[in-house]
Homo-oligomer: A and B are copies of this chain.
Amino acid sequence: MTTTRDPSAPTTVDTRDRILVAAANVLARRGFAEAKLREIADLAAVRPPAVYYYFSSREELLAEVLHTGQQRVRLHVASALAALPAGTDHETRIAAACAAHLSIQTAMADFARAVSRNIAHAHGPAHEQLHRESEAYHDLWRGLLSAAAADGAIRTDLDLSTARMFVIGALNGSTEWFHGTDDTERLIEQAQALVRHGLRPPRPTRPHRSTKGSP
C-alpha cells in the first residue's frame, strides 16, 4: 500500500509547481468556489494534505495563481515596451503592448483565464493584492495612452480612461474565445488593427518628432 515514488521523479520544487499549475487549470475551468482541493491534488498527482506542505491554505494557493497570472502579463508587456527602440512612435508602442498582452495571455492561458474569470469575485485579503497589481497594469496603459494623446496620436473625442478600459477589456475578453490552437499572430494583427484605427486621429500621426508640429 505504500506509494513509493520513483526517485527519478520530479523533486520537491516540481511538486510545488505542479500544484500551482494544476490550481491554475482548475481555477480557470471551475471558478474560485468550485476549485476543489481534491481536483487540484488529483491533477497534480498528490493527495490533498500535500498541498499544505507548500501552501498554508487553499486560499493562499489560489491567490498565488491569480497574482502570478496578473503579474506575468504586466511584466511581459512592460518588458516588450522596454525592448522597443527609443523613439518608437506611439501607435507602434500601443500595438506592441497589445501584442505582448495577447501573446503572454495565450502562452499562460490557464493563469490568464483564472484571473479574468475570477478577479470579479475575489474577496478577502487576496482582493487587495489583486487590486493593486491590476492598478499597476492600468497605470502602464494609462502612461501609454496619455503620452500618445499628448502627442496627438489619439482622437480628441476619446476619453482616455474609457478607451483604456474598453481596450484592456477587449484584450482580456479574448481568453474566452481564442484558443491556443488558433493562429496567435493573426489574432494579434486583428487586435492591433482594431485598436490602431479605433484610437487614431483622422490624419495619421506625424511620426512624433515632438508634440505638435505645425502643418
Decide if A193 is an interface residue (CB 8 Å cutoff): yes
Interface residues on A, range: 35 or more
The distance from the CB of A138 to the nearest CB of chain B, in whole angstroms, is: 10
Whether B176 pairs with A162 at a CB distance below 8 angstroms is no
Interface string of A171-207 (1 = CB under 8 A from B): 0111011100000001100110111011110000000
Could you tell me which residues of chain A, from 116 to 145, have a CB within 8 Å of some CB in chain B? 117-118, 120-121
Chain B residues near A176 (CB, 8 Å)?
Answer: 120, 169
Residues of A contacting B: mostly: helix
Copies of this chain per assembly: 4
Docked-complex contact B159 and A186, CB < 8 angstroms = yes
Considering only CB atoms, which chain B residue lies closest to A189 in the complex? Answer: B157
Q: Is A165 an interface residue (CB 8 A)?
A: yes
Minimum C-beta distance from A192 to chain B (A): 10
Would you call B158 and A121 a contact (CB within 8 A)?
Answer: no
Q: Are A121 and B31 in contact (CB under 8 A)?
A: yes
Interchain CA distance A7-B130 in the complex, whole Å: 42
Where the two chains meet, the residues of A that have a C-beta atom closer than 8 Å to any C-beta of B are 29-34, 113, 117-118, 120-121, 155, 157-159, 162-163, 165-167, 169-170, 172-174, 176-178, 186-187, 190-191, 193-195, 197-200
A-B contact pairs, 14 of them (CB 8 A): A31-B31, A32-B34, A34-B121, A157-B193, A158-B193, A159-B186, A159-B190, A166-B173, A169-B169, A169-B173, A169-B177, A170-B173, A173-B173, A193-B198
